[in-house]
Every structure is written in structure tokens, then in C-alpha cells.
């Protein structure tokens, strides 16, 4: 058979439609099916700085996101989801009427006893609404109660770190999909040509906890220039940023001028537009060499700022110092800034471990919100504080007078959000008296991601990329909802 | 307990109060020596799981004790106590204990034999130890029943049991083929299989031309792309299969074709008409993949270590990358030194949660999932790698030395030599002018800053050739660094 006729015959109605519409899906398809290098060249030299055609879908409230990711699964029970009933059932067995045969992780499913544990901390009411917050270890967060929305009904199907943290960052438990920041880089680009659209910082200075994976900030099946760029406190702030010893800036500039001349000559002869893209990438690299150290240099910050972010804030690489950097990046327009704080995986010694972690994050996270607010940035910046799941109401291991652990729990957990179109000063959703199941207004992790996209002016259902027969999106294939009750 | 070091469960004996304890063996699959530098832990599997209880009078012997020795130990009967008993009144057990004591402590021949036995055992263990370990999957003796999981959840199996088999739209497995991986391999290579040869040929084409006939090499199904040249793909596929799957022959055939040998230079208009070169009207032009960028810099500089095989190596990488993601900050990255720094990138050790950054920046996948088509991006971070990564600066240093030692006597010859090594052609006069201008500027700079020249020449662990003039070396290093960053060096054309 003539292959051309065969080809014609195989062109289905659906394929024909997808070819003829000049919409996002088709553009994305083109970028994924073979045109990647050329498209990248075109978009990088274009005037829109990488913004995808048709985006945003509607007027955005937020321009950027600062995600304070608490890796490991902070205990919602001990921080935000206050239940007085727990004091009465402390030490008693978790009733089957609550657990309802739901699965546990392999770490505690073999336990003979599941004694309920009330928080070994005091809670007080804060803000105009009088929301309950742990007053022993979250005093600073308590002071921003009127600026944040506490979501008590976050939930996820995953109960182990790897799938759960992959899920919340990419919308699916399977690995290989683009992360939230990569989606934003792909869709919105960056208003700042000298900095990447997606920056990641991992806190140092605390005991490292469960593992992280570079795929959490990877671009998955989107072009890899959308992957998160890690900014570091030790060595080069961005890998390979610093010129080698003995090669100074003046000489580097001369080398780049020569390089641009040679590459331009090649571009003339070869006709390949990718060469021009390369010339501009080298110029951006040179600009980053200047702009990044300026961004990372906190010496211009005032004493008042350091005092606001707390005693750790002058130590490089701490969560506190990274919070100041996050604010500086927000000021410079970086659209997605993600901080990872490890060490929340408190299977044992929870009372001391959670206190240690709160000592590191409470003041800086609250200061970040206050600081953004006083600089007028909170209105168009979404701040998210939360982890991949919560923890069990029952003790993992032996419950003693002052010590216990908690296992993973995905059926409900607490996250707070602030700014960028989220309603300030509210509590959203209700869990049962045992902090175990959701009673009212569940917010699936994909619902939260859909809501954040909404604040950024993006309809999550229309923000898709064709991939292996799927309309891939950040919020997964099961369907997600923008949580209207959270939005102002 | 005693252990003869055989790596077998039956080599372990457990005694309770001197009596051999009867126990069940559930797993007996160790295949390697038990010799290890790890610390022996008593009452603990690893530092965070400890025995809740007390341990008393721990003694470790450097050999497996015999039954009688264990009995002696457990019964706490010193030999003197037995000797105090009149010979005729000793029990059989006591007699045996004395005999064994005599043999083990006094009988020189017996002691020598025991020593020899231990030495032979150690030698045997050493001989049986595999040279290297290769993890492989093997079938269970009796395959486990497998069920479809509801929405993929591991704890939600349905009633639907699955059997080995191939998708219905593809040919069935041969009747006589075993229902296992061997059968699958036979099926893949049967002569009427519609996919294997086409998929393979398409991937080799992609490797050489940057894009396959089918632009979705991972998907030849209804969601995949239609081939650009279906007849050529078919012809090559049949030829590949009939040649006995001869990969070298296939590659040779492609690279010797007129299509492959076309120039990639074309007018801008031509490029814009067919940006991804689907019509093959010009030669392929695309950036080398990350591994090749590094390998080619090493080769051009003369540093490349062409040794093949052996365990992976850990060349330069910025500090702290493993620590910031690893569970508990472990394992610790320990960089290799010497010739291991210059092996082909194929041998670079791969930690999937933190892959070597200089390659990841050039689009290498994390290797957590199968990837057969990489994106090919063009980013500022890539520019930073080839300008500043120790590996590339060191390579530039060595290219500078090659220019001085092998390049000829004039600087025109020297720079042309380096350009030729990196791009495969002599520079045009306009290009040479730019290169030499940078050289003159750099030379002037380093003549005024001798310390800076020394610093630049100390980047990387290999020593510099001190017989050469350090100022010239440093100035040429800057030029070499520029040559490594030329679009033409980074691009296959």
C-alpha cells in the first residue's frame, strides 16, 4: 500500500482536530513531539519571557508562590488541630469505630496496642476568631493568626514519604511528572531574566531527616530548563556560578565577547537559530554571576529584619536565613520559591523533636508573612506552610509520661496558607474528635494545588500538556476542585 | 552461637545452656562471603533497633567452638574439677570433655589439623567469593498469584487474577515458549514481530539524527507519532533483523549514507521551514548529550582515560549534594582521585536522588524511570558548567599544554591546533583573529598578575607541566575555555 494513503487513513478525527486548533494543547504537543529544541530557542528569545500563549486564563490575584515545605509530615495533632477530647482518651485504645479498618503503615500495623496520645503541649486561642494553636512551640505563628487560613482537612491517599511527597509536589504518586514549580515556569515564565523561575532551598543546620529526591523539583516530562534551580548556602550559591580561581570578571567578559563573536559568525553560516539562543544563554549566565551573589548577600538587611526572623537568620543556610532570601527573591519577581525543611518524621521522641523543629521554623515563617505584608508583597504572594501528610493519633512505640512517637497519617492534616487571594484569618474544614477522619469540607492535596493555580490566574483543568495519550495536568487525572471557601 | 563462616544457615548453631537448639530455617540464600568490615553488633540489628533486655558475659572467639567446648563453657566445669573426680567415678560426659580438652589443648597434631582446617576454610571462602556482584531478578520456584489492583492501590487487589501473556493486538507467544522471561525474549525476536526491529532502528536513527522517524520512540501505539519515512524505517528494520541484529552494520550503513553526510549548514529560511529537520534535507545539527559534552572535553584535552569496565567512579562534584538529600545525611560522597577523574562519563557513579549535576544540567535523566528520549535544552546553567566546572577548567588547562607542546611553534599554529581538535576543522582567519586577540589580552593580564596565572593553573588535581611558561599556559587556558564553550564544540553537526 502507498504509505501516504495509509497515513491519510490513520489520521483520525481527533488527531485532525488537535492539529487544527491553535490552542495551548496543540502548542504543548508540538513542544513535546520533537520540536523541543527549536521551540525553546523561539520562546527564549521572544518578548514574553517564556509565558505560554493564552496564560493567564483570567486576571490573577497572585504573581508568585513561596512554599515552605515541611518534609516528613508534621503532626497536625500537636500543632493546629486542637481536640480537647484527646485528654479524656489519652492512653486508651484507638476505637475501631474511628479507625474503621483503614490501613496503617508497615511500621505500626504490627503493634499490639494503639494507645491514643493527647498533645504534651498547651494550646491557646488566637486571632479574632480565637483559633486554637499550640502556644508552647508556635507562639510566633499564633501572632499571624489573622493573616493565615488554617486548613484542617488536607488529605492524601499516600501514607509513605516517597509517594506522598511526590504526590503533593507533582499531582501523582508515580514519579516522572513535572513539579508544581516546573509547571509554573513552563506556563508563566519569569519576569526576571536574570533569575530562574523556580528556586529551591534546602535548610541546613538541623539533623537531616528522611530522604529528599531531586525529582521533587524536576521538570518531569516538561523541558528540563523548567526544573527547580537549587540555591545553596555553602560553596557556589548556584552550582558552578563562580569563575575559576585566577580568572577574573574582566577576563571572563573578554572571553564572552569573543565567544559571542565566534558564535554569531557560525550562526550566519549555519542558519541554525539555536545558536542565537545559545549566545543569549551565555549572556544570562554572565548576568546571573552578578545578580545571584547580590541576591544572596544579606549584609544589606537591617538589624530589625534579623531580629524579626530570629536568632538563626544570620546563619547561612538555616530555614530562617532562607526565609529572608525567599522574601528577597519575591521582591525580584521569582514566581516559585520552595523551601524544604526536613526532620518532621517523628516516629519516636516526638515531644522533643517537634519542639526543636518549631524552634527553627516558627519565628521565621511568621516573620516572612509579616515582612511580605509590611512591604506590600503579601497581596500578590501565596505563602504555603505544610507537609506531605499528618501523623497518627495513636502512639508509635511505647507511650510514657513524657515521650511517644506518631506514625504517618494521610486522612487529615493541617496546612496554612496566606496571601495572594486566600482568605486571611479563617479555619477551614473539620476533623472528628480523634483528628483521624474528616467530618466537613475536605481539601485534597490536589484541591489545594488547584486553588493556588486559581490564585495565579490559571484554570487547572485547562493547563494541560499532551503526554502519552493523557492530558497531563498538575492536579492529576481524578479531578480536583478549586476550594472557593478558601478564596477571598 | 557458633558460625563456621559458610554463609549457609546450617553453618550457624545456636546453643541454649549447652544444648543444641532446634530451629526453623526460613531463608537460606546468601551467596557471598560473610567477611565484612562492618562492626559486629550484639543485641541489635542496626543502631536504632536495640534489644530491650540485658546482655551479660559476652565473649567472642575467632573460630567456631566445638560442641564440647560450648558444653564446657556453659556448664562452667573447669577441667580441674573433673580431674578431682576419681577416674572410675567420672561420667561418660566428663570423660568426653577431658578427651576433647586434651586434644584441643595438648595434642600437637590435632591442634595443627584444626588450624589447617580453619585456614583452608578461609581460603575456600576467599576463592568462592564472586569477583563482582551483579543484582539480577530470578523467578520464584512457585510464582505468586498476581491480581489486578483497584486503581493501582497495593492493598486493594480485585478478584481478577492475571497470567503471563502478551497484548492481544500483537502476535501471541509461540506455543512452545515457556511462560517466563525467556519466553518473552523469544517472542520479542521472532521473525514476524512487528515492533522489535522497527523500535530498535528508530532509536539508532534518533541517536544519529537527533530525532527518530517516529518522534515518539517510546510509543509506537495509537497515541504515538506517525513515521516520517515509513518505507525507509521498514527497509532498515527488515535489513537489521535479517543481518542477525548486527548493530555495527546498521550504524555503518546509516553513517555512510548520503543523507547522513549532508552538511548541516543551510539558509535560515530552510531552518525555519523545517526546524526539526523531519524532511532530512540537510545534515543533523544538535547539541551533544551531557555525557558526550564531558567526554569530548576530556578527549580534546588529552585527559580522557579510555579504560573499559570495572566499578563506577566518582569524579569531581560540588560538596554537600548527597548530604542534603540522603536519609540521615548518608551515604557520604567520597570523591575519587587520579586517573578515575578522567574516565568516560559512562562510568560516573549515579545516585538517583542526587545525580551528577553537570550531567543533569545537560538534560541527563535521574534514571529513576526509563527514559529513551531526552529533552535537549539550552540554558544558562549549562553555560556555567562548561565555563566553570573544575572538570572543564582542568581540561582547558591541559588543552593549553597540548597547544604549547604539540601545536607548533607560532601562536597561529597553536591556536589552529586546539580549534581543530575541538571542532574538527581549521579556524577561518576571522576566527583566528578573535582567538588570538583573547590570547594577547589574557597574556597581558597574566604578565601583570603572575599569582592569578598560578591559581588558574592549579584548578583540578592533575599537576601542571612546570617546564612550560605559566603565563602562556594561563593565557592559552582562557582561550581553550572559550573553545570548549563554542556552539560548534558543544554541537554535533
H/E stretch holding A438: strand A438-440
Nearest neighbour of B379 by CB, restricted to A243, A252, A281: A281
Do residues A364 and A339 lie in contact, with contact meaning Cβ atoms separated by under 8 Å? no
β-strand partners of A427? A150
Cβ-in-10-Å burial (0-12, 13-18, 19+) of B244 comes to exposed
Do residues B333 and B321 lie in contact, with contact meaning Cβ atoms separated by under 8 Å? yes
Contact between B368 and A215 using a beta-carbon 8 Å cutoff: yes
Give the pLDDT band of residue A208 (cuts 50, 70, 90).
Answer: low
Q: Which of residues 231-260 of A touch B (CB under 8 A)?
A: 232, 234-236, 238-248, 250-252, 254-255, 258-259
Contact between B457 and A246 using a beta-carbon 8 Å cutoff: yes
Q: Which of residues 309-348 of A touch B (CB under 8 A)?
A: none
Distance from the B147 Cα atom to the nearest Cα atom in chain A, whole angstroms? 19
d(CA A202, CA A362): 16
Geometric angle at alpha carbon B96, from B93 and B102, rounded to 5°: 145
Do residues A119 and A86 lie in contact, with contact meaning Cβ atoms separated by under 8 Å? yes
Do residues B211 and A34 lie in contact, with contact meaning Cβ atoms separated by under 8 Å? yes
Mention every residue, 6+ apart, whose C-beta is less than 8 A from residue A465: A25, A28, A29, A32, A186, A221, A222, A471, A472, A473
Nearest neighbour of A33 by CB, restricted to B225, B488, B491: B225
Pairing of strands A426-428, A148-155: parallel
Distance from the A398 Cα atom to the nearest Cα atom in chain B, whole angstroms? 12
Nearest neighbour of B357 by CB, restricted to A41, A224, A239: A239
Determine the pLDDT at residue B455. 96
| A40, closest residue in chain B (CA to CA) | B377
For residue A267, which phi and psi values (nearest 5 degrees)? -60, -40
Locate the DSSP E strands across A71-160: 123-126, 131-134, 148-155
3-state SS, residue B120: helix
Q: C-alpha distances in angstroms, B258 versus A81, B153, B200, B282?
A: 71, 53, 21, 10
Cβ contacts of A202 on chain B, cutoff 8 Å: 324-325
Distance from the A273 Cα atom to the nearest Cα atom in chain B, whole angstroms? 7
Do residues A198 and A226 lie in contact, with contact meaning Cβ atoms separated by under 8 Å? yes
Nearest neighbour of A218 by CB, restricted to B285, B366, B487: B366
Do residues B215 and B205 lie in contact, with contact meaning Cβ atoms separated by under 8 Å? no
Do residues A243 and A249 lie in contact, with contact meaning Cβ atoms separated by under 8 Å? yes
Nearest neighbour of A284 by CB, restricted to B325, B380, B430: B380
Nearest neighbour of A255 by CB, restricted to B270, B377, B438: B438
β-strand partners of B428? none
Contact between B271 and A234 using a beta-carbon 8 Å cutoff: no
Do residues B449 and B430 lie in contact, with contact meaning Cβ atoms separated by under 8 Å? no
* Dihedral of the alpha carbons of A94, A95, A96, A100, in degrees to the nearest 10: -80
Cβ contacts of A246 on chain B, cutoff 8 Å: 451-459, 474
Determine the pLDDT at residue A17. 41
Categorise residue B469: left if φ over 0, alpha if ψ from -120 to 50, beta otherwise: beta
Contact between A235 and B319 using a beta-carbon 8 Å cutoff: yes
Write the ipTM.
0.79
d(CA A3, CA A10): 10
Where does B76-195 have alpha helices with state H?
Answer: 79-84, 92-105, 108-128, 181-188
Contact between A263 and B324 using a beta-carbon 8 Å cutoff: no
Pairing of strands B2-3, B12-13: antiparallel
Cβ-Cβ contacts under 8 Å between A and B: the total is: 231
Q: Which of A111, A156, A116, A147 is nearest to A129 (CA)?
A: A147
d(CA A484, CA A428): 11
Q: Which of B256, B289, B346 is nearest to B491 (CA)?
A: B289
d(CA B302, CA A224): 31
What is the pTM assigned to this prediction? 0.81
d(CA A369, CA A425): 13
Instruction: Kindly state the cell numbers that stand for B166.
Output: 502478551
Higher-pLDDT residue of A197, A41: A197
Cβ contacts of B481 on chain A, cutoff 8 Å: 247, 255
Q: Is the per-residue pLDDT at A257 higher than 80?
A: yes
3-state SS, residue A406: strand
User: In which residue are the cell numbers 479524656 written?
Assistant: A88
Determine the pLDDT at residue A283. 92
Determine the pLDDT at residue B157. 92
Residue spans of chain B under pLDDT 70: 47-48, 75-78
Distance from the A487 Cα atom to the nearest Cα atom in chain B, whole angstroms? 32
Do residues B453 and B372 lie in contact, with contact meaning Cβ atoms separated by under 8 Å? no
Distance from the B27 Cα atom to the nearest Cα atom in chain A, whole angstroms? 21
| A261, closest residue in chain B (CA to CA) | B434
Do residues B480 and B397 lie in contact, with contact meaning Cβ atoms separated by under 8 Å? yes
Do residues A153 and A430 lie in contact, with contact meaning Cβ atoms separated by under 8 Å? yes
Q: Which of residues 276-305 of A touch B (CB under 8 A)?
A: 277-279, 281-282, 284-285, 288-289
Distance from the A403 Cα atom to the nearest Cα atom in chain B, whole angstroms? 17
Do residues A457 and A58 lie in contact, with contact meaning Cβ atoms separated by under 8 Å? yes
Contact between B458 and A232 using a beta-carbon 8 Å cutoff: no
Cis preceding linkage at B331, omega within 30:
yes
Measured N-to-C along each axis, helices B380-388 and B390-406 cross at an angle, to the nearest 10 degrees, of 50
3-state SS, residue B15: strand
Give the pLDDT band of residue A14 (cuts 50, 70, 90).
Answer: very low
Question: Rounded to a whole number, what is the distance in angstroms from the first to the last CA of chain A?
Answer: 62
Cβ contacts of B327 on chain A, cutoff 8 Å: 208-211
* Dihedral of the alpha carbons of A188, A194, A199, A203, in degrees to the nearest 10: -160
Cβ contacts of B326 on chain A, cutoff 8 Å: 208, 211
Higher-pLDDT residue of B340, A13: B340
Mean pLDDT of chain A: 88
d(CA A151, CA A428): 5
Contact between B378 and A212 using a beta-carbon 8 Å cutoff: no
Counted residue by residue, chain B has a size of 493
d(CA A176, CA A256): 36
User: In which residue are the cell numbers 602562556 written?
Assistant: B472
d(CA B199, CA B197): 5
pLDDT per position as a tens digit, A47-93: 346 788 888 999 999 999 999 999 999 999 999 999 999 999 999 99
Residue B235 burial (CB count, 10 A):
12
Contacts 24+ apart (CB under 8 A), B130-136: B130/B31, B130/B32, B132/B311, B133/B32
User: In which residue are the cell numbers 500495623 written?
Assistant: A109
Cβ contacts of A242 on chain B, cutoff 8 Å: 388
d(CA A192, CA B342): 38
Residue A23 burial (CB count, 10 A):
13
Distance from the A26 Cα atom to the nearest Cα atom in chain B, whole angstroms? 14
Instruction: Kindly state the cell numbers that stand for B300.
Output: 580534546
Q: Which of residues 145-204 of A touch B (CB under 8 A)?
A: 157, 175-176, 202, 204
Mutate to test the interface with B, among A164, A173, A214 (most CBs of B within 10 A): A214
Contact between A246 and B474 using a beta-carbon 8 Å cutoff: yes
Where does B28-88 have alpha helices with state H?
Answer: 67-75, 79-84
d(CA A321, CA A308): 11
Contact between A468 and B265 using a beta-carbon 8 Å cutoff: no
Q: Which of A47, A44, A56 is nearest to A275 (CA)?
A: A44
pLDDT per position as a tens digit, A157-199: 999 999 999 999 999 998 889 999 999 999 999 888 888 999 9
Contact between A251 and B441 using a beta-carbon 8 Å cutoff: yes
For residue A323, which phi and psi values (nearest 5 degrees)? -65, -40
β-strand partners of B284? none
Contact between B375 and A38 using a beta-carbon 8 Å cutoff: no
Mention every residue, 6+ apart, whose C-beta is less than 8 A from residue A325: A201, A231, A295, A296, A298
Sorted by where each starts, the structural domains of chain A and their CATH numbers stand as 50-238+299-486 (3.40.720.10)
* Mean pLDDT of all residues in A416-433: 96
d(CA B59, CA A286): 65
Geometric angle at alpha carbon A266, from A262 and A272, rounded to 5°: 140
Contact between B380 and A232 using a beta-carbon 8 Å cutoff: no
d(CA A380, CA A371): 13
Residue A56 burial (CB count, 10 A):
17
Contact between A37 and B376 using a beta-carbon 8 Å cutoff: yes
pLDDT per position as a tens digit, A362-399: 999 999 999 999 999 999 999 999 999 999 999 998 89
Determine the pLDDT at residue A311. 94
| B227, closest residue in chain A (CA to CA) | A7
Geometric angle at alpha carbon B380, from B375 and B384, rounded to 5°: 110
3-state SS, residue A485: helix
| A236, closest residue in chain B (CA to CA) | B318
Mention every residue, 6+ apart, whose C-beta is less than 8 A from residue B477: B393, B396, B397, B399, B400, B456, B457
Pairing of strands A390-396, A405-409: antiparallel
Mention every residue, 6+ apart, whose C-beta is less than 8 A from residue A152: A76, A80, A81, A412, A414, A427, A428, A429, A430, A431
A41 and chain B in contact, CB less than 8 A: yes
User: In which residue are the cell numbers 545452656 written?
Assistant: B17
Cis preceding linkage at B33, omega within 30:
no
User: In which residue are the cell numbers 548556584 written?
Assistant: A238
Mutate to test the interface with B, among A251, A252, A291 (most CBs of B within 10 A): A251
Amino acid at each position: 500500500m502507498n504509505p501516504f494513503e495509509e497515513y491519510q487513513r490513520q489520521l483520525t478525527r481527533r488527531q485532525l482536530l488537535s492539529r487544527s486548533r491553535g490552542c495551548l494543547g496543540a502548542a504543548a504537543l508540538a513542544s513535546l513531539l520533537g520540536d523541543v529544541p527549536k521551540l525553546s530557542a523561539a520562546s527564549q528569545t521572544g518578548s514574553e519571557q517564556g509565558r505560554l500563549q493564552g496564560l493567564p486564563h483570567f486576571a490573577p490575584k497572585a504573581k508568585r508562590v513561596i512554599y515552605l515545605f515541611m518534609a516528613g509530615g508534621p503532626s497536625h495533632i500537636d500543632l493546629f488541630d486542637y481536640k480537647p477530647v484527646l485528654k479524656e482518651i489519652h492512653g486508651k485504645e484507638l476505637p475501631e469505630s474511628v479507625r474503621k479498618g483503614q490501613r496503617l503503615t508497615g511500621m505500626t500495623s504490627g503493634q499490639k496496642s494503639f494507645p491514643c496520645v493527647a498533645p504534651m503541649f498547651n494550646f491557646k486561642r488566637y486571632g479574632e476568631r480565637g483559633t486554637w494553636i499550640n502556644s508552647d512551640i508556635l507562639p510566633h505563628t499564633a501572632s499571624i493568626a489573622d493573616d493565615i487560613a488554617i486548613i484542617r482537612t488536607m488529605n492524601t491517599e499516600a501514607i509513605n514519604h516517597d509517594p506522598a511527597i511526590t504526590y503533593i509536589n507533582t499531582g501523582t504518586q508515580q514519579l516522572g511528572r513535572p513539579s508544581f514549580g516546573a509547571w509554573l515556569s513552563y506556563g508563566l515564565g519569569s519576569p526576571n531574566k536574570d533569575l530562574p523561575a523556580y528556586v529551591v532551598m534546602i535548610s541546613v543546620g538541623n539533623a537531616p531527616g528522611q530522604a529528599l529526591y531531586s525529582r521533587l523539583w524536576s521538570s518531569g516530562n516538561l523541558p528540563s530548563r523548567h526544573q527547580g534551580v537549587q540555591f545553596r548556602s555553602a560553596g557556589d550559591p548556584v552550582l558552578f556560578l563562580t569563575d575559576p580561581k585566577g580568572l577574573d570578571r574582566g577576563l571572563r567578559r573578554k572571553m564572552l565577547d569573543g565567544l559571542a563573536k565566534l558564535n554569531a559568525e557560525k550562526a550566519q553560516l549555519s542558519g541554525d537559530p539555536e545558536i542565537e539562543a545559545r549566545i543569549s544563554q551565555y549572556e544570562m549566565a554572565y548576568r546571573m554571576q552578578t545578580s545571584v551573589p547580590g541576591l544572596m548577600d544579606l549584609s544589606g538587611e537591617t538589624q530589625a529584619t534579623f531580629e524579626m526572623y530570629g536568632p538563626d537568620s544570620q546563619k547561612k543556610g538555616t530555614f530562617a536565613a532562607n526565609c529572608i532570601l525567599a522574601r528577597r527573591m519575591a521582591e525580584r519577581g521569582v514566581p516559585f520559591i520552595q523551601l524544604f525543611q526536613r526532620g518532621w518524621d517523628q516516629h519516636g521522641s516526638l515531644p522533643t523533636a517537634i519542639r526543636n523543629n518549631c524552634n527553627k521554623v516558627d519565628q521565621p515563617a511568621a516573620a516572612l508573612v509579616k515582612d511580605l505584608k509590611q512591604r506590600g508583597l503579601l497581596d500578590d504572594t501565596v505563602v504555603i506552610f505544610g507537609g506531605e501528610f499528618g501523623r497518627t493519633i495513636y502512639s508509635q512505640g511505647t507511650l510514657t509520661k513524657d515521650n511517644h512517637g506518631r506514625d504517618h497519617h494521610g486522612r487529615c492534616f493541617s496546612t496554612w496558607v496566606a496571601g495572594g487571594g486566600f482568605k486571611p484569618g479563617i479555619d477551614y474544614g473539620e476533623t472528628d474528635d480523634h483528628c483521624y477522619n474528616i467530618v466537613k469540607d475536605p481539601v485534597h492535596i490536589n484541591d489545594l494545588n488547584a486553588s493556588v493555580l486559581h490564585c495565579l490566574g490559571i484554570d487547572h483543568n485547562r493547563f494541560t500538556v499532551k503526554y502519552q495519550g493523557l492530558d497531563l495536568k498538575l492536579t492529576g487525572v481524578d479531578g480536583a476542585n478549586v476550594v472557593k471557601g478558601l478564596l477571598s | 552461637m557458633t558460625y563456621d563462616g559458610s554463609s549457609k544457615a546450617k553453618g550457624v548453631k545456636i546453643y541454649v545452656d549447652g544444648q543444641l537448639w532446634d530451629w526453623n530455617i526460613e531463608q537460606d540464600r546468601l551467596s557471598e562471603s560473610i567477611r565484612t568490615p562492618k562492626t559486629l553488633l550484639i543485641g541489635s540489628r542496626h543502631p536504632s533497633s536495640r534489644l530491650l533486655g540485658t546482655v551479660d558475659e559476652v565473649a567472642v572467639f575467632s573460630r567456631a567452638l566445638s560442641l564440647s567446648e560450648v558444653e564446657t563453657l556453659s556448664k562452667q566445669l573447669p577441667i580441674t574439677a573433673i580431674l578431682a573426680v576419681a577416674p572410675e567415678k567420672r561420667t561418660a560426659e566428663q570423660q568426653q570433655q577431658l578427651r576433647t580438652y586434651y586434644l584441643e589443648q595438648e595434642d600437637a597434631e590435632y591442634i595443627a589439623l584444626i588450624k589447617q582446617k580453619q585456614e583452608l576454610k578461609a581460603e575456600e571462602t576467599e576463592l568462592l567469593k564472586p569477583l563482582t556482584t551483579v543484582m539480577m531478578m530470578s523467578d520464584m520456584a512457585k510464582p505468586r498469584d498476581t491480581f489486578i489492583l483497584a486503581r493501582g492501590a497495593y492493598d486493594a487487589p480485585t478478584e481478577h487474577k492475571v497470567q503471563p501473556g502478551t497484548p492481544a493486538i500483537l502476535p501471541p507467544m509461540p506455543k512452545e515458549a515457556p511462560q517466563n522471561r525467556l519466553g518473552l525474549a523469544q517472542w520479542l525476536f521472532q521473525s514476524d514481530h512487528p515492533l522489535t526491529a522497527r523500535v530498535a532502528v528508530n532509536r539508532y536513527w534518533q541517536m544519529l539524527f537527533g530525532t527518530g522517524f517516529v518522534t515518539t520512540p517510546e510509543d509506537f501505539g495509537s497515541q504515538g507519532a506517525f513515521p516520517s519515512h515509513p518505507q525507509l524505517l521498514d527497509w532498515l528494520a527488515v535489513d537489521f533483523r535479517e543481518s542477525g541484529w548486527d548493530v555495527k552494520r546498521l550504524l555503518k550503513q546509516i553513517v555512510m549514507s548520503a543523507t547522513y553526510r549532508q552538511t548541516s549548514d543551510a539558509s535560515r529560511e530552510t531552518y525555519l521551514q523545517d526546524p526539526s529537520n523531519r524532511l532530512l534535507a540537510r545534515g543533523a545539527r544538535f547539541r551533544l548529550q551531557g555525557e558526550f559534552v564531558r567526554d569530548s572535553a576530556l578527549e580534546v584535552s588529552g585527559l580522557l582515560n579510555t579504560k573499559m569496565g570495572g566499578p563506577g567512579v566518582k569524579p569531581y562534584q560540588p560538596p554537600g549534594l548527597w548530604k542534603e538529600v540522603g536519609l540521615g545525611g548518608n551515604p557520604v560522597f567520597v570523591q575519587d582521585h587520579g586517573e578515575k577523574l578522567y574516565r568516560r562519563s559512562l562510568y560516573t557513579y549515579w545516585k538517583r536522588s542526587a545525580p551528577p549535576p553537570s550531567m543533569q544540567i545537560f538534560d541527563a535523566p535521574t534514571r529513576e524511570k526509563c527514559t529513551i528520549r531526552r529533552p535537549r535544552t539550552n540554558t544558562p546553567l549549562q553555560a556555567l558548567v562548561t565555563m566553570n566546572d573544575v572538570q572543564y577548567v582542568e581540561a582547558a588547562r591541559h588543552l593549553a599544554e597540548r597547544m604549547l607542546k604539540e601545536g607548533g611553534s607560532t601562536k597561529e599554529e597553536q591556536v589552529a591546533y586546539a580549534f581543530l581538535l575541538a571542532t574538527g576543522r581549521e579556524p577561518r582567519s576571522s576566527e583566528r583573529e578573535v582567538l588570538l586577540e583573547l590570547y594577547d589580552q589574557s597574556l597581558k593580564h597574566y604578565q601583570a598578575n603572575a599569582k592569578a596565572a598560578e591559581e588558574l593553573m592549579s584548578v583540578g588535581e592533575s599537576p601542571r607541566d612546570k617546564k612550560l611558561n605559566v603565563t602562556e599556559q594561563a593565557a592559552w587556558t582562557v582561550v581553550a575555555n572559550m573553545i570548549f564553550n563554542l556552539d560548534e564544540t558543544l554541537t554535533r553537526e
